[in-house]
């Protein structure tokens, strides 16, 4: 396994980060999770747009141009010889001193890790996941913008811990007003009477790349689609519920807080969207 570190390719054992790195000390940094399908980097531009926007927003100077970053991704994938897998791209503020001041950090560190990935068994895509709503609240843009994919994932990790304790695959986070926002690391969609809904990201959700791909697919396949606030009640009575994410792709939900969703397995819209999604991933992308 070859890991890209600031322009060098090093082995897993040599890929070491300083204890003074502000990504480690303070979660000061950003990241992306990207998929490779049949040698293509899926929606590379969308991921890099989000990365560079996140960087700009937190005044983090990425020491690579957009084109250089894309090249680094392609080269890291090539060196690892993977046709299908997952890329973790991390940009941290870099090593500094023990104070929080980012001005003390000399330069950002760029790390690219490529790995194989299979988060859910194939039957989970047919059967659907069990899910719960959790007490953690997703922040809205009056605090840190939910559009920044920052290295501060503690809130999401607490959600994951709560879903582990409940023995479910993914959980649903609300915002302080009680609107549904997203999962711990996935966006959420519901289907009701043939209409596909997802919450607007201003309620407190990451602008997911997979979410964007599903919105594109809905319009191509002729599904009525609305970006509209909804509550847990709407989730409980939905015909279908599914999560989307780079790792999870499109995964059905069969139960939320003990309420069976629809027929209790992946419904027709979710199944069709997953099928079509898996078709586009191998043809779209950067080689
Ligand atoms: N929401 C959160 C909080 C995430 O961490 C992720 C995963 O990256 C997503 C949603 C899904 O986004 P994407 O489809 O870009 O992977």
pLDDT in tens, 236-245: 999 999 999 9
Which of 88, 117, 187, when mutated, tests ligand 1's pocket best, judged by the most ligand atoms within 8 Å of its CB? 187
* Whole-angstrom distance, CA of residue 95 vs CA of residue 108: 8
Nearest to 18 by CA among 87, 72, 97, 99: 97
Domain boundary among 115, 145, 170: 115
Cα dihedral 217, 222, 228, 232 in deg (nearest 10): -80
Could you tell me if 153 and 185 lie in one domain?
A: yes
* Whole-angstrom distance, CA of residue 220 vs CA of residue 241: 20
pLDDT at 287 over 80: no
Could you tell me if 212 and 132 lie in one domain?
A: yes
Could you tell me if 143 and 246 lie in one domain?
A: yes
Question: Which residue range(s) make up the domain with 166?
Answer: 122-283
What is the number of the ligand 1 atom nearest to the C-alpha of 246? 16
Higher pLDDT, 138 or 64: 64
- The residues annotated as belonging to the active site are 149
Could you tell me if 155 and 269 lie in one domain?
A: yes
Over residues 47-62, mean pLDDT: 97
Domain boundary among 81, 115, 149: 115
| Pocket of ligand 1 from Cβ distances under 6 Å | 33, 156, 182, 185-187, 206, 208-211, 244-246
Least confident interval from 133-142, 181-190, 247-256: 133-142
Nearest CA to ligand 1 atom 13: 208
Whole-structure pTM value: 0.96
What is the number of the ligand 1 atom nearest to the C-alpha of 247? 16
Could you tell me if 152 and 277 lie in one domain?
A: yes
Could you tell me if 172 and 43 lie in one domain?
A: no
Here the ipTM equals: 0.99
Q: Are 262 and 239 in contact (CB under 8 A)?
A: yes
Over residues 10-27, mean pLDDT: 97
* Whole-angstrom distance, CA of residue 148 vs CA of residue 153: 11
Nearest CA to ligand 1 atom 3: 185
pLDDT at 99 over 80: yes
Predicted pLDDT at 260: 98
Tally of domains within the chain: 2
DSSP per-residue codes, 29-79: EEEEEEEEETTEETTHHHHHHHHHHHHHHTT---SS-HHHHHHHHHHHHHH
Q: What is the per-residue pLDDT across 173-209, written as a single tens digit (0 to 9) for each?
A: 999 999 999 999 999 999 999 999 999 999 999 999 9
Over residues 48-74, mean pLDDT: 97
Treating both helix axes as pointing N-terminal to C-terminal, what angle do 209-221 and 268-283 enclose, rounded to 10 degrees? 110
Nearest CA to ligand 1 atom 6: 185
Could you tell me if 63 and 143 lie in one domain?
A: no
């Amino acid at each position: 396994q070859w890991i890209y570190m600031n322009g060098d390719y090093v082995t897993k054992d040599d890929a070491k980060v300083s204890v003074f790195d502000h990504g480690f000390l303070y979660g000061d940094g950003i990241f992306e999770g990207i998929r490779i399908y049949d040698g293509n980097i899926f929606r590379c531009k969308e991921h890099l747009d989000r990365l560079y926007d996140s960087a700009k927003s937190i005044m983090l100077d990425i020491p690579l141009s957009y084109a250089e970053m894309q090249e680094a991704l392609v080269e890291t994938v090539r060196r690892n010889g993977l046709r299908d897998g997952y890329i973790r791209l991390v940009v941290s503020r870099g090593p500094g001193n023990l104070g929080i001041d980012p001005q003390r950090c000399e330069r950002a560190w760029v790390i690219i890790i490529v790995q194989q990935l299979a988060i859910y068994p194939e039957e989970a895509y047919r059967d659907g996941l069990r899910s719960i709503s959790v007490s953690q609240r997703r922040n809205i843009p009056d605090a840190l913008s939910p559009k920044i994919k920052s290295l501060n994932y503690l809130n999401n990790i607490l959600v994951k811990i709560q879903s582990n304790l409940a023995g479910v695959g993914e959980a649903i986070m609300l915002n302080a007003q009680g609107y549904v926002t997203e999962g711990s690391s996935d966006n959420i969609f519901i289907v009701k009477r043939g209409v596909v809904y997802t919450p607007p990201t201003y309620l407190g959700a990451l602008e997911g790349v997979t979410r964007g791909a599903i919105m594109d697919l809905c319009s191509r396949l002729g599904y009525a689609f609305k970006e509209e606030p909804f509550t847990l009640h709407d989730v409980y009575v939905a015909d279908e519920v599914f999560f989307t994410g780079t790792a999870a792709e499109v995964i059905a939900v069969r139960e939320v807080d003990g309420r069976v969703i629809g027929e209790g397995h992946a419904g027709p819209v979710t199944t069709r969207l997953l099928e079509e999604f898996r078709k586009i991933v191998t043809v779209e992308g950067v080689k």
